[in-house]
Amino acid sequence: MSRLILYGAYARGAYKRGQPDNEREYRAVVELVRVGWAKDNPAFRRVFTSRFVPGGTEEQIQWFTELARKTTSPNIAAPILETRGHIDVSDLLEQIHVPTLVLHARNDNAIPFAEGKLLASRIPNAEFVELDSCNHILLEHEPAWKRFCDAVLEFTGAGHELPFASLSQREREILSLLTEGLSNADIAARLGISDKTVRNQLSKLFDKLGVWTRAQAIVFARERGFR
């Protein structure tokens, strides 16, 4: 493993956090799952669902509630939740020695924000990103989702290469020479192709990058560390 990304994660279960109110709430959820998970009335499962997507639309909440019912039975779901409540691996965090990114929603209803902060503080040199959301499952319309995507792409390095993934080898060669300040004629001579071919390739390249001029293409490539 070369990198580690932890989103909405925790090292201590609800019974190990030293928070009586949080523990009572968690025990209530486990009991609701045990007695109401399989019932036709979705009210029991909605309590579980609402902790994960409190900002979801009615359609999203209904979908997640039904997914929860289909995923497992109450005889399995309740023991899993109960076991999770007793987990405590906080003593192992200092043993993580790979670059680590920890992301957590500020008002996460499922996993307290403090648990994400704990992970970042105990894992050596971990980077922490706070997301402005109340949803444990981020929704695509909220700014936190874009912040999450940007942070992950930046951390993995994919954010620099991703915009260029659709370029052909020839287009990459032309873009590289373009960033060196070469004219169309110079690029054609360097690659042994015609000026017309360079113009056609540049037109396709601009479309793929979402730019309109060679100046914009040069800035776009340089800012993203294109090589």
Whole-number pLDDT of residue 132: 93
Of the candidates 186, 185, 187, 166, the residue with the CA atom closest to the CA atom of residue 175: 187
Question: Based on the domain organization, do 67 and 9 belong to the same domain?
Answer: yes
pLDDT, tens digit, 9 for 90 and up, residues 173-191: 999 999 999 999 999 999 9
Residue 64: band (very low, low, confident or very high) from pLDDT cuts 50, 70, 90: confident
Q: Which domain holds residue 193?
A: 162-223
Whole-number pLDDT of residue 84: 95
**Residue 151 has which token pair?**
């942070």
Using the 3D structure, point to which of 156, 181, 197 is the last residue of a domain: 156
Whole-number pLDDT of residue 186: 93
pLDDT, tens digit, 9 for 90 and up, residues 13-33: 999 999 999 899 999 989 988
**Average predicted confidence (pLDDT) for the chain:** 89
Question: Based on the domain organization, do 30 and 98 belong to the same domain?
Answer: yes
DSSP run (H or E) holding 45:
helix 43-50
pLDDT, tens digit, 9 for 90 and up, residues 166-177: 788 999 899 999
* pLDDT top residue among 83 and 220: 83
Question: Based on the domain organization, do 86 and 176 belong to the same domain?
Answer: no
Q: Could you tell me which residues come within 8 angstroms of residue 26 by beta carbon, excluding any fewer than 6 positions away?
A: 14, 15, 81, 85
* Residue 70: CATH number of its domain: 3.40.50.1820
Question: Based on the domain organization, do 87 and 143 belong to the same domain?
Answer: yes
Distance CA 54, CA 194 (A): 59
Is residue 158 pLDDT above 70, yes or no? no
- Give whole-number Cα distances, 37 to 33, 45, 80, in Å: 5, 6, 13
CB 157 within 8 A of CB 146: no
Using the 3D structure, point to which of 129, 156, 183 is the last residue of a domain: 156
In one-letter notation, the amino acid at residue 8 is G
Question: Based on the domain organization, do 64 and 114 belong to the same domain?
Answer: yes
Whole-number pLDDT of residue 66: 84
Is residue 83 pLDDT above 90, yes or no? yes
Question: How many Cα atoms are found within 13 Å in the side-chain-facing hemisphere of 5?
Answer: 12
